[in-house]
C-alpha cells in the first residue's frame, strides 16, 4: 500500500505547508488552510533521452495557424471575449450565487446552433435544465445535455461526442477518482481543471467552466486556478437590480478593457446595446441633487445618473453613505468642497447613489459627484441637458481625463446641449460634435457656470 500523508493548502493562493497555520505566509490571509490527504507514489524509472517528447525549435520554424473564432451570437459576450470563442481555449465564468451564471451559460449553449455543444451540469438535473430552457423560450437541436459529476465519465463522453464547445456547470461539483478528497476541495478543483485543460488543448474543444466565488468576491479555489485558464470572466451585479455586468479579468486572446451589460428578465438575460439610455431617468422635471456623468467602462462610453441627498444631521455624527461609488473618495471630495470651495458640509448627512446599481471606479465622475452634492445642498436643480466629465484634485483643480472625445460624442448622440470638461484636455477639434463644450480648470468656475 502506498504511504499517505497530510498537507495543508491555502485556498486563496495555493501555498502548501506540512502543518496548519493560522495566517498564510504567502498571501497574508487568515484561516485559509485546508487539510488534504495525498499518497506518496513510488518514483518511476528514469526516462531515456529518446522519450523526451517535443523538441525545442526556433521562432522562424513555428507555424502560426490562424484560428477562426466561434461567434456565440450574444454580442455582449463576444465583445468581452474579443470577437468570439477561440477553439481550444479554457474560459472561467465566476459570479455571486443567483446572479445568472447558469442562465448565461444555457443561453450561450442554445444560441450556438451551428456548432455541436455539450452542456454538462453537476448542480441541476436534466429536468431542471429543461424547465430553465422553456423559460428562455429557445431551443437548439445541436446541443446535448448531460448530468454528470465524474471527471472520467465527462471526458469519455466528450471524446466520443467531440463537441465544438463544452460547458461545465460547475467545476466545484466535478471530482476525479485519483484524488480522495471531497468535490470542491482545493486538490479536486486543481486536478480537474488541469485535466480539462489538457483535453481542451489536445482536442481543440473550447471549454466554458462556471466557478463559484468566495465571500470576498474572488474565484473559489486556489489562485492557481485562474493561472491555468485562458480567460477569466466575472459576472457581477446586485440581485436587487436588474442589470448585470460581464467583465474580463484575464484574457489571453483579447483585451481586458471590454465589458458587457445585460438586463435580467423573466425570459432570461437581454443585451443592453445602448446602456446610456437605460441608466438615465426619463424624468422631464428638473430635480435637485442629480447630475449626469460621462464615464468610460472599459473602452465603452456610458452616461450615468448620479444622485445625491444632503440634509441636516439628525444625530451628533453626520452620516456618509455611498452606493456604487467609493466611500473614501466621497469623503475626499467633501473635504475638497469644505477646504477649497468654502461649502460647510461638516454638520450635514451626505448620501450618494449611482442609478441602476452600477459600481463605478472612473475618476472622471468626480465633477458630477460634487455638482450633485452642491445641487442638493442649495436645493437648485441642474439642467438635465448638461453632463460632466472631470477628475477633481485635492487642490480643487479639474484634472484631465482619458478618452474625452468618446465621452463628448456619446453625450452629443443622446441629445445633451452642454458638457463641462477639464481645460487641460487639448488637442482635438471641438467644432464637429454638435454640442456646447465648456472647459474649466477649478471647481469654483464650474459652480459659477452652473448656478451663476
The binding site for ATP consists of: 95-102
Annotated binding residues, written as ranges, equal: 95-102
Q: Is the bond leading into 51 cis (omega within 30 degrees of zero)?
A: no
DSSP codes joined into one string, 268-283: EEEE-S-HHHHHS---
| Pairing of β 243-251 and β 117-121 | unpaired
What is the rounded CA–CA span in Å between residue 110 and residue 104? 10
And the C-alpha cell for 114?
451551428
Q: Are 169 and 123 within 8 A, CB to CB? A: yes
Torsion 415-417-420-423 (CA) sign: positive
| Cβ-contact 84, 78 below 8 angstroms | yes
Provide the H-helix boundaries in 125-183: 126-136, 151-161
* Euclidean distance between CA atoms 400 and 423, whole angstroms: 7
Asked if 429 and 367 count as a contact pair (C-beta separation under 8 A), the reply is no
Q: Residue 268 corresponds to which cell in the numbers above?
A: 432570461
φ/ψ region of 98 (left if φ > 0, alpha if ψ in -120 to 50, else beta) reads left
Query: Which helix (H) or strand (E) segment is 5 a member of?
Result: strand 4-10
Residue recorded with cell 436587487:
240
- Determine contact, residues 3/40, Cβ cutoff 8 Å: yes
State the cell numbers at 99: 446572479
- Is the Cα dihedral 184, 254, 413, 366 positive or negative? positive
Q: What's the Cα-to-Cα distance from 84 to each of 116, 391, 442, rounded to whole Å? A: 16, 35, 44
Contact yes or no for 300/407 (Cβ under 8 A) = no
| Cell matching residue 291 | 447630475
How far apart CA 422 and CA 402 sit, in angstroms, is: 11
Amino acid at each position: 500500500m502506498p504511504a499517505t500523508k497530510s498537507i495543508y493548502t491555502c485556498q486563496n493562493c495555493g501555498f502548501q505547508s506540512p502543518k496548519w497555520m493560522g495566517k498564510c505566509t504567502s498571501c497574508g490571509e487568515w484561516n485559509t488552510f485546508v487539510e488534504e490527504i495525498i499518497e506518496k507514489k513510488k518514483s518511476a524509472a528514469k526516462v531515456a533521452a529518446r522519450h523526451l517528447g517535443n523538441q525545442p525549435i526556433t521562432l522562424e520554424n513555428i507555424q502560426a495557424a490562424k484560428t477562426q473564432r466561434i461567434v456565440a451570437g450574444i454580442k455582449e459576450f463576444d465583445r468581452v471575449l474579443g470577437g468570439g470563442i477561440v477553439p481550444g481555449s479554457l474560459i472561467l465564468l465566476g459570479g455571486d450565487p443567483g446572479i445568472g451564471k447558469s442562465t448565461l451559460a444555457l443561453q450561450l449553449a442554445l444560441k450556438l446552433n451551428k456548432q455541436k455543444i455539450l452542456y454538462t451540469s453537476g448542480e441541476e438535473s436534466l429536468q431542471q435544465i429543461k424547465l430553465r430552457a422553456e423559460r428562455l423560450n429557445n431551443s437548439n437541436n445541436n446541443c446535448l445535455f448531460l448530468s454528470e459529476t465524474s471527471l472520467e465519465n465527462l471526458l469519455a463522453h466528450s471524446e466520443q461526442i467531440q463537441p465544438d464547445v463544452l460547458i461545465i456547470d460547475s467545476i466545484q461539483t466535478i471530482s476525479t477518482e485519483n484524488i480522495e478528497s471531497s468535490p470542491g476541495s482545493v486538490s479536486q478543483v486543481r486536478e480537474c481543471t488541469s485535466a480539462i485543460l489538457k483535453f481542451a488543448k489536445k482536442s481543440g474543444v473550447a471549454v466554458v467552466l462556471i466557478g463559484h466565488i468566495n465571500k470576498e468576491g474572488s474565484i473559489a479555489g486556489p489562485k492557481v486556478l485562474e493561472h491555468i485558464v485562458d480567460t477569466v470572466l466575472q459576472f457581477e451585479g446586485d440581485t436587487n437590480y436588474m442589470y448585470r455586468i460581464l467583465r474580463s479579468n484575464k484574457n489571453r486572446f483579447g483585451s481586458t478593457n471590454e465589458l458587457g451589460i445585460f438586463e435580467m428578465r423573466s425570459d432570461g438575460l437581454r443585451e443592453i446595446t445602448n446602456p446610456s439610455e437605460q441608466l438615465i431617468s426619463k424624468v422631464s422635471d428638473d430635480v435637485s441633487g442629480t447630475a449626469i456623468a460621462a464615464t468610460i467602462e472599459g473602452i465603452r462610453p456610458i452616461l450615468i445618473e448620479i444622485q445625491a441627498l444632503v440634509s441636516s444631521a439628525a444625530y451628533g455624527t453626520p452620516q456618509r453613505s455611498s452606493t456604487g461609488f467609493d466611500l473614501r473618495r466621497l469623503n475626499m471630495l467633501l473635504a475638497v468642497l469644505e477646504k477649497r470651495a468654502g461649502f460647510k458640509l461638516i454638520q450635514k448627512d451626505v448620501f450618494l447613489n449611482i442609478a441602476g446599481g452600477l459600481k463605478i471606479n472612473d475618476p472622471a465622475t468626480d465633477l458630477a459627484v460634487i455638482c450633485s452634492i452642491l445641487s442638493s445642498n442649495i436645493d437648485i436643480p441642474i439642467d438635465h441637458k448638461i453632463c460632466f466629465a472631470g477628475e477633481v484634485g485635492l487642490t480643487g483643480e479639474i484634472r484631465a481625463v482619458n478618452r474625452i472625445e468618446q465621452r463628448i460624442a456619446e453625450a452629443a448622440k443622446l441629445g445633451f446641449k452642454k458638457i463641462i470638461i477639464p481645460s487641460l484636455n487639448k488637442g482635438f477639434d471641438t467644432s464637429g460634435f454638435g454640442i456646447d463644450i465648456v472647459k474649466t480648470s477649478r471647481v469654483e468656475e464650474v459652480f459659477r457656470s452652473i448656478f451663476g
